Amino acid sequence: MSKDRNVKVSIENLSTAFEIMGSHYKAVDDVTFDLYDGEMFAIVGESGCGKSALALSIMGLHDDSVKIEGSINYKEKDLNKMNKEERRKIRGFDFGMIFQEPLTALNPLVRVGEQIKEVLSIHTSLSDSEKNNKVLDLLDEVGIPNKEVVVKKYPHELSGGMRQRIVIAIALACDPDVIIADEPTTALDVTIQAQILKLIDNLRIKQNTSTILITHDLGVVAEVADRVAVMYAGQIVEMGTIDDIFDNPMHPYTISLLRSIPNSDNNNKKLYVIDGIVPSLQNIDRTGCRFSERIKGHDDSIHEENPQLREVEEGHFVRCTCYKEFDIEKSQEV
């Protein structure tokens, strides 16, 4: 991604801490990145690495018990310094979100057309007839047939793919500058997944919407992303263009993720298994390389005491110097 592209959103030193047994633990820990105009920026990692917590922090959807530090800069304003009413005006209008569970995101007692209209009622001054027309236009945009019939249905009367399209229509209702798609293809079959991803990408290109795609599926990322941030235990451990991450991965975690996925390039290699699990919030070692305990066959001396995210090539950032010594074949032999 060219550095001369306009920055849509600039996130600086963002941390999100949840209260557990009277103490706060950071699920998102000092995350910094820029989202460029019209790009698809993917955030990947295992479940529990902080991806969704980051998305909800950007949207301002955490409750008051969650401590959020750092800045989210948009149109020369820091969203984290806004009060709840100011943030609500931004959310749904400038920022839209596609949630991963449409049955949870949608109200089961309200017809889907009314749920789309609600967003328009909150953020626009359209007349009722204009809102009705806009709802039908949005259903067209997201590829829903028989829109006059579907608009009167309840969520449970629609398929998973149709419900997800309704959630996308709600997110797009006010033509936002930024869309955050949090695992938008969860629980959908492979064919529908491909359709939903293609839809999100086509709408991004058509409307020049900057999109943050949260996912654990590297196959999805390879299809649609411009740049990628790989998260582990609340931190970004590697960030770069799609070519950087897939053709020249450096951090041991990124390399391990790629080698643990079956593909044609790995046909003659033993499928790699990442040892251990992502640590719980209370058990994350806040000093040293957080991935070190899951690297086998390497001496602890390869890690920094206080790993920083550094630019090792233009636009390619890696945390911890352990990438210089990591050998996945050596790790696999142990």
**2 belongs to a structural domain:** no
Q: What CATH number has the domain bearing residue 283?
A: 3.40.50.300
Q: For residue range 183-222, what is the model confidence (pLDDT) as tens digits?
A: 998 878 888 888 889 999 999 999 899 999 999 888 889 8
Residue 228 reports pLDDT greater than 50: yes
Neighbours of 234 (CB within 10 A): 28
Say yes or no: 230 and 325 in one domain.
yes
Residue 198: inside a domain: yes
Q: How does strand 210-215 pair with strand 178-182? A: parallel
> Of 173, 189, 223, which marks where a domain is finished?
173
pLDDT digit string, tens, across residues 30-82: 999 999 999 999 999 998 899 999 999 999 999 999 999 999 999 999 999 99
Residue-level pLDDT at 106: 95
Residue type, 320: C
Q: What angle do CA 258, 262, 266 make, to 5 degrees?
A: 75
| Per-residue confidence band for 273, with pLDDT thresholds at 50, 70 and 90 | confident
Q: How confident is the model at residue 316 (pLDDT cuts 50, 70, 90)?
A: very high
pLDDT of residue 192: 87
- Average pLDDT of every residue of the chain: 91
Q: Please, which pLDDT band fits residue 243 given cuts at 50, 70 and 90?
A: very high
264 lies in some domain: yes
Residues 292 and 302 in one domain: yes
The larger pLDDT score, comparing residue 34 to residue 325, is at 34
- Asked, for residue 187, whether it belongs to a domain, the answer is yes
Both 13 and 35 in a single domain? Answer: yes
Structural domain including 298 reads 7-94+174-333
Are 167 and 293 contained in the same domain? no
Note whether residue 1 is domain-resident. no
Say if residue 15 is in the same domain as residue 158: no
Domain end marker among 173, 196, 230:
173
Work out the average pLDDT over 306-330: 91
Does residue 136 sit in the same domain as residue 196?
no
pLDDT at 3 over 60: no
What pLDDT, on a 0 to 100 scale, did the predictor assign at position 2?
44
> C-alpha distances in angstroms, 117 versus 133, 152, 164, 289?
10, 12, 17, 48
Residues 89 and 212 in one domain: yes
C-alpha to C-alpha distance for 304 and 289, rounded to whole angstroms: 7
- On whether both 279 and 145 belong to a single domain, the answer is no
Q: Return the pLDDT at 179.
A: 97
pLDDT of residue 333: 63
Are residues 217 and 297 both part of a single domain?
yes
- What is residue 297's predicted lDDT score, i.e. its pLDDT? 82
Same domain, 90 and 148: no
For residue 300, being part of any structural domain is answered with yes
Please say which residue of 138, 173, 208 terminates a domain: 173
Inter-residue contact 313 to 281 (CB < 8 Å): no
Predicted confidence band of residue 1 (pLDDT cuts 50, 70, 90): very low
Residues 138 and 198 in one domain: no
In the predicted structure, residue 269 carries a pLDDT above the cut 70? no
Q: What's the number of domains the chain is made of?
A: 2
Burial 89-126 (b: 16+ CB within 10 A, else e): ebbbbbbbbbbbebeebbeeeebbbebbbbbbeebeee
| b (16+ CB within 10 A) / e for 298-322 | beeebbeeebebeebeeebbbbbbb
Looking at the structure, do residues 108 and 241 belong to the same domain, yes or no?
no
Give the model's pLDDT for residue 38. Answer: 95
